[in-house]
Structure 1
Amino acid sequence: MDPEAVHALVQELFVADGPVDRPVRIASLVAFQGDHRTLTERDLPRIAAALIEVEAEPRPAHPTLTDPLTDPLTDALARTLHSLGTVDLDDVRAVRLGPEAFARHLAVAAPDADEGLNAADARTHTRLREAVCAHILRFLVLRSRFVAAAEDAAFEERYAQDIVAAHDHLTIYGIDLAHSPDSWPLDAAYLSLQTETDGGGGPGAPVEQAPAEQALAGRERVLLWGVAGAGKTTLVQRLAVSVARGDLPAPLEGLRGRVPFVLPVRRFRHDSNHDRHDRNNDNGNPNTNTNRSNPNTNHNSHSNPNTNTNHNSSHNAFPEPDAFLSAVRYPHAAAQPPGWAERVLSDGRGLLLVDGVDEAPEDERERLREALRELPTRYPGNVWLVTSRPSAVRQNWLASERFTELKLSPLSREGVTAFIRRWHAAARQDITDRADLARLSGYEETLLDAVRITRDLGRLATNPLMCGLLCALHRDRRGYLPRGRKALYDAALSMLLERRDRERAMQPPDGIDLPQEPKIRLLQKLAHWMLVNGRSEMDRATAVETLARHLPAIPHAARQGGPEEIYRHLLNRTGLLREPTPGSVDFVHRTFQDYLSARAVVERHDFDFLIDHAHLDDWEEVIRMSVALARPDECGYLLEGLLAARKDARPIHARHRKLLAASCLEHATELDPEVRSRVHRYTRDLVRPTSLEAARALGWIGPIVLEMLPDPSGVSDEEAHRLAVTATSIADDRAIDYLVRLRDRTSWAVRAQLAGAWRRYDTDRYADEIIAHLDARELDFPVSDLGELRALRRLGGRPCVQVAGALTPEQLTEGLVAERLTELWLAYDLGEGPDLGWLAAFPHLHTLRLSHRNAEVTGVPEGVQVIVAGP
């Protein structure tokens, strides 16, 4: 079918001019009647024959027909077209009916059109009538802005309802294994996170904090960073649902009336041969080409993740507007009015939520970046939120296009407490037994104490995903928690795969009863396929085919059902898989996919496979988890491979591999001391950063880097500042021991860096060992929560204080030392038109700095200079 040819034929049926500012009767628009006719009724068979030629499937040749104009099917369609002149519908009503209902109207208007047709031609005529009606309605929409607006409004109402239905729920892991559902309403489950920005970039610049759902207030373009599990996708859901409902907090009133487009990057890729598994080349046997005793086994079949895969090189990294809905597999994408998305963006009414840049292959990210440069320029006035893991994009990745870079903060101590209390409150909703309620309350308090006191748990409880797992496991194990990431994920898999249905006292509804280990192995096959193919989502058919290839090697599963039945069982009963759109499947969270991928790789002994791809940032977590799962000799082989020189390797990739080796050390349970020593030796020079960007980049390595940083006592102030940046990027209290050696520096940049890092560490210890010793001259001391405010008061207060957390006037009046305060920086959103008369309690205050969002304030005492920071 040639759409342009069909459109040209349909255009012939209607007059070229006509009013477009009100509904118009279709009968008055046809070109074969009225005062402005350009066709005669004799032209209709010609148009009908041409439409049949491009729209209908080939038909057997009629032995007596030589002229298509005498074909009975042509005559039938011509009669249908002629009925357009008798239909009592205006263009708006016709478009709202849709192709099927409009075709029925034409059938009623031309009841004798099918006379003389055989059964096959009658069916063809019915199909043709509906297809031609679809093109007619498209023409009417494109012809009239009025019709388009009416049709757009009707579609947008339905689309908004579908957005709410699709995104107004969250999974809260293990809320109640015995009774409750796995999914909870977004409003009940959502915990507001905090975003932060450096507010200007220089040392000591204010770290502005705001609730994450308000990150777009006053901003049209935002790039939001967040580690795995930090809540990026949840924030996208929250914004989409809030805008679709029109239920917006005051700071986000600027989003009212916008149309949300939820655009997960992982959906943009459509490999033309993505269902093929040739690259695995194991004939369904997961143990082919493996040698458990030899860590030097080389699997050439895995050396290139693109082997035997035909990627569509012409596919754009970002879809065009009219393909937005089909690209993300919105089930009613075909119902959108022609040109609708283009009109939304052209009018500046869109909210584009581009989720997961890190889930695009590294070699496609530059094309994605070009699209994110070009589209906002082509369609100004729309609001863009782009999310990514920090490791996937460098700093200032979209700065040239005026994207503000924000970062999702790790959960503060107060945030962790709020999450744990919210989780247990949700769990209590369906419990009626008093003894169970008492036990749950006891679990809540012991978990809060454990997270505060136990360092390993405190390091894990930094984001909603990990906090949810900790809550679920703590309850599931009656107050016992595993320590370390590997133990946590093993326990989580046990909870979700083995104990979930058993605790619910359920008989398998599908007749399949699989133990934990076969489930894990089958899930590993799906995760491994995604890893090898560079995907975080796969077609349902591909998942079923993958299971079919591996089921013969897992007889316990093969005996209970075919691949389709096993797939449905894993989807419905494990809690780890979901179908985000019809026909596709992914893991409920990327971290589970990474962990199961690592298990598969270690079992297959594919360490060369890992080493070959270690320069790719989306493999980092898989490699770290593989080290945690591997045996000592395997760990040594993998780490040595990361350190080894590689032919034609780019210097940046070689550095990346060495730093990755260093980050793996803390995950190795047992490791040859010689290997550990070599990792230290190879990375020693890499931990003396020569730029601030390099210093920040070292933060992802983790606490192990603290063992390799040089003694700061003999370095210049400039290098000391870079070392401070690196050490304060490591959110572990062990960093305090290193920072103590920098606290007496007179350099303002070093002092500002140390002061600004307070919120990352234990409040009182950092106050006593760092804050209390910093020279206060020209230094703003940050306060992000009530605990820090009280600690600073205990130290006697400071003359210049920067408040980054949303504290009340009463708390600030009580907590700040009035006799000492001279400068105050309120680096957070104060709300609508705040009255700052309470500042009269500070007699020596002479300077007040405010965020640009708080330009309109009242009640500032006389003599206090107000300075508003730029956006």
Structure 2
Amino acid sequence: MEPAVLGGKLVSGLIGPLVRKLFAGGGPGAGLVDRPVRLDRLVSFRGERRELGEREVRRLAGRLVRDALDSPGEPPFPPGEEDAVAGALAGRLLALGDLDMDDVQAVRLGHRELAARLRRGAGAHGLSTDAGLFLDSATEWACLHVLEFFTRRSAFVARTLVEQTRAQAELIAKVDELITRVPRPDARDTAFERRYLPYVAERYDQITIFGLDLRDSPDRWPLEVAYLSLEATAEEGSLRPDEPALTLRVRAEHALRDHDRVLLRGDAGSGKTTLVQWLAVTAARDGDRVPYVLPLRTLIRGGALPAPAGLLEVVGCPLTPPDGWAERVLSAGRGLLLVDGLDEIPAADRHRVRDWLLALIRAFPGNRWLLTSRPTAVRPDWLGPEGFRELSLTPMRAPEVATFVSRWHAAARAPEYEAALLDALRTKRDLARLATNPLMCGLICALHRERRGYLPTGRKELYDAALTMLLARRDRERGVAGVELGEEAQLELLQRLAYALVLSGRSEMEVATAEGIVERALPTVAVPGDARAVLHTLLLRSGLLRRPEEEVLSFVHRTFQDYLGARYAVEEGHLDVLAAHAGETGWEDVIRMAVAHARPGERAVLLRRLLAADTPRLTLLALACLEHAAALDPGVRAEVEQRAAALIPPRSPKDAKTLGEAGPLVLELLPGPDGLTDEEAHGVTVAASLLADAEPAGALAVLRRFREHPSLVVRRQLVGTWDRFDTRQYAEEVLDHLDRTDLILVCTCHAEREALSRMRPWTRLRFDGDRSLSEIIDVTPAHEAVEELILVGTGLRGFVGDGAGPDSAFPALRTFRFELAPYVSPDLGEYRRLFPRATVIVMGRS
């Protein structure tokens, strides 16, 4: 038995008499009128009439320790520590008089916490482990008897009842105050909200894609189809001054879960308004908050911003609430106020809007507020002092784009176009760079469907439609006032900025540099105002520019920069400049867009310059330019196609390697599988595999087209390139569709073994690295159907460790091959005993 446990049991019988001596027999009474009975008034060794001195307490503690040591059985601690333990115990008991609490509080505390406070008040040092355990046990038993003593006093019972009565009275008073603050809902309020919440849920359950006038594409979509959960980020302070700021990532719809006030920034078309509608509809359906959707461009039309009672009328709600309803909702903290479009009102009105917001927040605390804006409308931390947290919507990633495209086609009832568009988004880099927000994704989907599954011949029409929508139609159709620049003026300024960036080989420029470019262009565009004001308007309203830092400017998409820079280069006749830079990878898209903007004669000149270089890469660039050249000299077109035909499709792995060296541009040009020989199909898959590191999404899109190809050499290429891609995605989109005949699947890591467990069964498998039998069985679907098993490792050690027989686990196994490390000398008989019905091949003899 542990010494402390034995000592504790002995102490339990001895501690009672000691405790009774520690406390005065009489006492100050119940203390019902004056004050609580403090412990320092109860102990017998304090006050003017002491019944027990400190010396007597130490004597009693020493006696208790000696009695414990003299008890039958094993001593609770080693000899020689008796005096030290007794002194420490006496110190803890004397500390009872130092506790700032009364008897009722002590009982509520419990004996273990009371003992812990005594330990903190009078620690013990230099004791052995067993002595320390005995001391702690004795202290806890003493505290247990102390509390027992308190509960048997008649004064304690009275005090407890008084404390309970007082606590109940305080609770009743607080509840009454709460009821006064939060009045019970009026029956008229409840009836109105039963009409208002369904109205909100229905009104905002559709979104409009502004600026689209395509014949077969509806401009309104159900919210549950169109809404996409996007990510938002916030810069948080670092833990140390010398560390960079931390980036916090949250789902945008969860922005108000941890903060009641949020300023959400996002570029044009990033989904801010759609998020506002989603939050409104969700709140209306859940019924936990009363949502207000408040477009600022609508609120400021009447001049004075509305009081709470007028909010619904201003935004066009046809329902009339009971008098005072809005104030009652906001006073109770039940409101969800979604204020949309700070950037859509004139700069002069923004301070007025801030004052209006802050007045409402201070008058009605406890509600939730979301304010949306484009990134550059107001300075950082504009509402930080008022407790607003700033979040920024992030661009859509490839999985989110795929989800959006799938939902769009489901809503449009056009599923037959979905696969082709997803394939184009994976293989065409400039298109993928454009599809980074819901607005542009919607435009691409609509154009693709309008043309019956084909994007425009040359993507000029796509960019033109996007620019028209962003620069003019979207703001006009949304009713945004104060647009000071026309579409042509904006294009002229934007393309000059873009060309300056293209020439410098950069994607960002100083704001001062941009102001200089705008200032030189002002006489041409005939726009009133100074360069700073015009650039600010362009930055705010075009949707194409952003300021990643305070004094830095860039385009929101590099593809717009290349498109507009090429437009300006062609207008200025800079074909020699374009041709001189054609060998630089950063100019590929500029060259292609220049061909799109050029006149037929200019196109011929530029393409001949590309062919004159006589390199595979520029020949392929010329071929890629043909899709942008609707009108072109037939002789030039034929020459480009003839030169490219020698490169595409590749007819051997060597040709494929040469093609792969031309870069990701190749992925857009790779054909197949229809019309290709087996050798050409193999060459295409090799070329795509070589480009997997540079452009994994595009390479995967090409290889996916060959997953049902019958050629063994093609299928082996598809199996062998697994490690270049995302393991799970490649398994789902390629490997799990292959004809398994004569194929061996190799698993070299945990991620691949995990993916194997989710695929259809494979009959021929190879595992690299020492794996146990149970591990292999766990990740192998239908392991009883495996016909060939190859293990690469150091031997049998650990392979059979769970008692299972390998032969019974793989009853259909016909071939077992163990490839050992060169330094291992195998026992062939041992392997044959494991798999008596299979052909056993052991390789790697020393």
TM bin, normalised by shorter chain, reads 0.3 to 0.5
TM-score norm. by structure 1 comes to 0.39
TM-score norm. by structure 2 comes to 0.40
Return the index of the structure with the highest Cα Rg: 2
